[in-house]
Structure 1
């Protein structure tokens, strides 16, 4: 027996289900970095109206992205619910800026390595540019004012006639003309140097993680960092550091301990600190240590209760003061502090 259509029952899709389907369908069309914030749906008979609020990544063409989301939401909602979706509303409620991808740190090469990318940072030359612009503007302004005055029937300015008369009376053999020419040549060479040379000699070029990134480190800052690391070595009580493009020189004063051992520790600590500066070219390290005057090593201090023969109020046959040593371990021939010979 055939049951009439009116008695077969009905299928009702709740607005909540329609809303979830619309949100899921809109999420399928979102670009990378986008998300669905909220959605709503209203069902009347066999018709449903849906609205979806989304967050889109920036930068992005919002109109094109919203068009794709709307078409996807209408098509999928109608296919999955069996309802007619005449219109879907898409609201762009927020824009989000995606975090930039992490940039890998540039690994500094060995000493002498000229790797890296990008030209050096050039000095802005503000003072030379300002002086040249001011002098040129003043000279051109005075000449222009005088030419306009003569054009309108006035007399030439006194300074212009004086300059012309002086130039007519003095030739290239005069001392004043030669000195003026030498001065003009020096000023021209200085201006050419300012225009062609990059400058910023006090800054060390850093390794660039990308071709469009350039960085520089001030030499004073690099020397201050190395000095703090050197003063942290046990036995070092004073340190002087100078950093150049190719070499870093360290002079350390030893207050206690054996200078050879202190120097080896300074070389180890600063050798590990130089790559941390991130320079494009790691400078070669040269370390020199010296005994600070008036200080003794623990090995040469005399115990109070010890019966040690003295000569002129000093212990006899005391160990000599160590000599300066550089990074290569060679003595430089100088000795610091008094030397006890033990002779009467």
Structure 2
């Protein structure tokens, strides 16, 4: 028995179902400690577009993990829904930082030395400028079309169109209003050209891609949080403030105990290794500044029987090459015996 084509019906997969399938497929490819935060999907005809935001554990190669998640989500979504998935987007929205591991001596390696190469920059979608321009263009074209149709069917032209034509006939390029309008139009045109040509997303750091066609980027705020966690794990550091830019990473650390010079050397070693673990195409230059925290008691000086030692000044090291001031005799812990006496 053959059913007529008009009575066979159609099968429609809702975007909500596609989103659920994509999220479940992404969860299957996540490394241990990762989780799916959110997802979205859109269906148009026989194709679907999916987007998944995930949280990854640190340290992990975010580009390789995102590639596995994307491939798994595309394959499972296409197999279970029967739709083609021409585009899938995986966003690493957060990193879960565990306890700081014991970091060996940092070894400087060139970006991409392990086989990965810097991929092309991810371009911003710029949905707001595109939506504003499309809305203005649609409104202007709709007004003109409505007025043209009105005149075509024997109606009178709109008052705004006749007013614009009369004003343009009586004003020339020498008028101030025309010059101001031209300057505004030029600025708006330059802004639109910049939005179309420049990649944008300046707050993301480009990562080394493991293969062609893979693009990965790390948010600067996430990189700063990771470096701050590593800095707070250095013995002696009680406070840390980290700023990450495209070419430089600055760390200001407060030292609560210990020699500031030794604390700074350890912080440089740990943070240098952490920068290499981020997998960036061009790791930013590291600049570490440490200083003694105000309000904390200074250690008491040690004095011997032969010669008395004056109290030492608080040491402060700010950047490479800074002078270090200390006494020759050193310090003793608070409560230690002084002048050679017994406790």
TM-score by length of 1: 0.58
1:115-154 alignment, distance < 5 Å: 116-154=117-155
Task: Give CA deviations for 1:70-123 in whole Å, capped at 9, x if unaligned.
Answer: xxxxxxxxxxxxxxxxxxxxxxxxx9xxxxxxxxxxx9953799x824311111
CA radius of gyration, larger in: 1
The SS at the match of 2:208 is: coil
Where does structure 1 differ by over 4 angstroms across 4 or more consecutive aligned residues? Answer: 299-302
Residue 261 (structure 2) aligns with: 260
Q: RMSD in angstroms over aligned alpha carbons?
A: 2.8
Task: Give the whole-Å Cα distance in 2 for the aligned partners of 1:191 and 1:301.
Answer: 69
The SS at the match of 2:296 is: coil
Task: Give CA deviations for 1:108-155 in whole Å, capped at 9, x if unaligned.
Answer: 953799x82431111111011000000000000000000110111111
How many residues get paired? 214
TM-score by length of 2: 0.58
Residue 293 (structure 2) aligns with: 292
1:310-321 alignment, distance < 5 Å: 317-321=310-314
Task: Give the whole-Å Cα distance in 2 for the aligned partners of 1:301 and 1:127.
Answer: 66
Q: 1:261 to 1:111 in 2, by over 3 A?
A: farther
> Structure 1 residue 276: deviation in Å?
0.7
Alignment check: 8 A CA contact 2:236 2:263 kept: yes
> Structure 1 residue 296: deviation in Å?
3.2
Residue 163 (structure 1) aligns with: 164
Task: Give structure 1 stretches of 5+ with no counterpart.
Answer: 1-94, 96-106, 303-308, 310-315, 334-344
Q: 1:245 to 1:233 in 2, by over 3 A?
A: same
Alignment check: 8 A CA contact 1:241 1:249 kept: yes
Task: Give structure 2 stretches of 5+ with no counterpart.
Answer: 1-78, 80-106, 326-343
The SS at the match of 2:117 is: coil
The SS at the match of 1:274 is: helix
1:41-80 alignment, distance < 5 Å: none
Residue 177 (structure 1) aligns with: 178
Q: Aligned match of 1:322 in 315, 326, 337? A: 315
Alignment check: 8 A CA contact 2:291 2:317 kept: yes
Task: Give CA deviations for 1:25-67 in whole Å, capped at 9, x if unaligned.
Answer: xxxxxxxxxxxxxxxxxxxxxxxxxxxxxxxxxxxxxxxxxxx
- Structure 1 residue 110 and structure 2 residue 132: aligned? no
Residue 240 (structure 1) aligns with: 241
Task: Give CA deviations for 1:223-260 in whole Å, capped at 9, x if unaligned.
Answer: 00000110111111111111112111111111121111
Alignment check: 8 A CA contact 1:254 1:290 kept: yes
